[in-house]
Amino acid sequence: MTCLAPRVLFPLQEMASDPPRAAPSGAGSELENARRLAAAGRVEAAAAAYRRFLALEPASFEGHFELGQVLASHQRLPDAREHLAVAASLKPDNAEAHVRLAQVLLMLEQLDGAERELVTAKSIAPKEPSVRYNLGRLYEASKREPEALAEYLAFLEVAPDDTRANNIRSRVALYYENSEKLDAALSMYRDLLARDPGRASAHYAVAGIRYRRAQYDEALAGYLEVARLDPKNPSAHANIGFIHRIKGRLAEAAASYTRAVELDPSDVTSLYFLGALQSDLGDMDQAMTRFAQLVELQPGHPMVHYALGKIYLKRGDRDAAQREFELHRAIQAKERADQHTASTMEDN
C-alpha cells in the first residue's frame, strides 16, 4: 500500500501441519534424533541428523520439510529453499509446503517465485490466513495496491481476530484515506478502534478526516483523545489550537499552541500562530519573542516579517516597521519569481 517502503521481509507464520507419518524403522531413530536436536536449538547437529535420515529416505516429505524449516529459522536461506522446494514437489497439494517455501523466497527477495508459491497455496487453501496475509504483503511490497487490498480484505474476513489483523486494518484504512475513499477509511478506522481503543494513531487519522469535512467539533474531540493517549504529541496540541482559533477561542488556542511549541520548539507553523495569537490578545512582548524565534529558524517565512511590522507600528516605531514590511515584500517577490521560473521551465 502507499504507506510502505518497497523492501519488506516477512517472518515465518504458523500454519497447521499434517501429523508426520511414521518413518521406516531403519531411519526412525535418525529422524527422532534430528527432531530432538532441533528442539534443543542445536542446528548443525540437527541438520546433520536430518541429512543422515534423508540419505536413507530421500523421498521423505517430513525430512525435507522439517529440515527446511530448521534452516530457515536460523537464516540458512539457500539451503532451506532447496529442501522446502523438494518438500513442495513431493506433496504438491500441501499448502503449507508452498507457504513455507514462499516465505523463504520472500526473505531472499525472490518475489516472482514467492508469488508463484503463494498463488498455488491459495488455490489449495483459499481460507488459510497466512496465505492471504503473505500475498497481501508481497503485493504491497511490489506496489500492486489493488491486489494487496483484495488479499488484506480476504485475510480480515477469514481471520478477523488474528494477532496481525489490527495492523492490517490500519494499512487498509490508510490506503482508503490516501485514495480519497473517506467513508471506507472511517469505517475501517471505527472497526480498528472498536478492537483497539487505545490506538492514538487511529484517533488522529479519524480526527483528520473529520477536520477535512469541516466537522470541527468531532475533529476536536478526536484530537483531544489523541492528546490524552499521547500527551507528548505536538501535532495533536497544534491541531487543537487551530480548531480553537477558527472557533474564535483565542486564549484556548494560545494555550494549545504554547504546549505544541514546548514539545517541538522547531515547529515554525505553531510558532507563527502562537505569536499571532499573543499579538491579538495584546501580549506584544511574548509575540515578539515567538516571532524572533521563528525568524531564527526560518528567516524567509512568508508572514513573520509582516506580523513584526504590524507590532512595530502599534508601538510607534515606523522605521522598524518599514524595514520589516520591506523584508516581507522582498520575500513575496522572490517567491513569485521562483514560481514564474518553475512554471516557465514546465512550459518548455
pLDDT in tens, the chain (348 residues): 544 333 333 344 444 444 454 444 557 788 999 999 999 989 999 999 999 999 999 999 999 999 999 999 889 999 999 999 999 999 999 999 999 999 999 999 999 999 999 999 999 999 999 999 999 999 998 999 999 999 999 999 999 999 999 999 999 999 999 999 999 999 999 999 999 999 999 999 999 999 999 999 999 999 999 999 999 999 999 999 999 999 999 999 999 999 999 999 999 999 999 999 999 999 999 999 999 999 999 999 989 999 999 999 999 999 999 999 999 999 999 888 887 765 444 443
Domain residue extents for the chain:
1-15+26-124
How much is the pLDDT for 48? 94
| Buried b or exposed e, range 297-306, using 16+ CB within 10 angstroms | eeeebeebbb
8 A C-beta contact, residue 131 and residue 125: yes
How much is the pLDDT for 11? 40
Query: Residues near 295 by Cβ (< 8 Å), separated by ≥ 6?
Result: 301, 304, 305, 308
Give the residue among 58, 87, 93, 95 at the shortest CA–CA distance from 70. 87
How much is the pLDDT for 341? 61
Query: Residues near 302 by Cβ (< 8 Å), separated by ≥ 6?
Result: 328, 331, 332, 335
d(CA 234, CA 181) in angstroms, rounded, equals 27
d(CA 344, CA 146) in angstroms, rounded, equals 37
Could you tell me where the beta strands, DSSP code E, fall in the chain?
A: none
How much is the pLDDT for 335? 87
How much is the pLDDT for 47? 94
Q: ∠ at Cα 28 (25, 30), nearest 5°?
A: 135
The C-alpha cell at 140 is: 504491497
d(CA 31, CA 24) in angstroms, rounded, equals 10
For residue 168, count other CB atoms closer than 10 A to its CB: 23
How much is the pLDDT for 26? 58
Query: Residues near 40 by Cβ (< 8 Å), separated by ≥ 6?
Result: 46
How much is the pLDDT for 29? 87
8 A C-beta contact, residue 2 and residue 145: yes
Residues in the chain: 348
Q: Provide Rg for the chain, Cα atoms.
A: 30
d(CA 261, CA 268) in angstroms, rounded, equals 9
How much is the pLDDT for 345? 40
Q: What is the pTM of this model?
A: 0.78
The C-alpha cell at 19 is: 501429523
Cell numbers 539457500 correspond to 78
The C-alpha cell at 90 is: 513431493
What's the topology of domain 1-15+26-124? Answer: 1.25.40
Cell numbers 480553537 correspond to 244
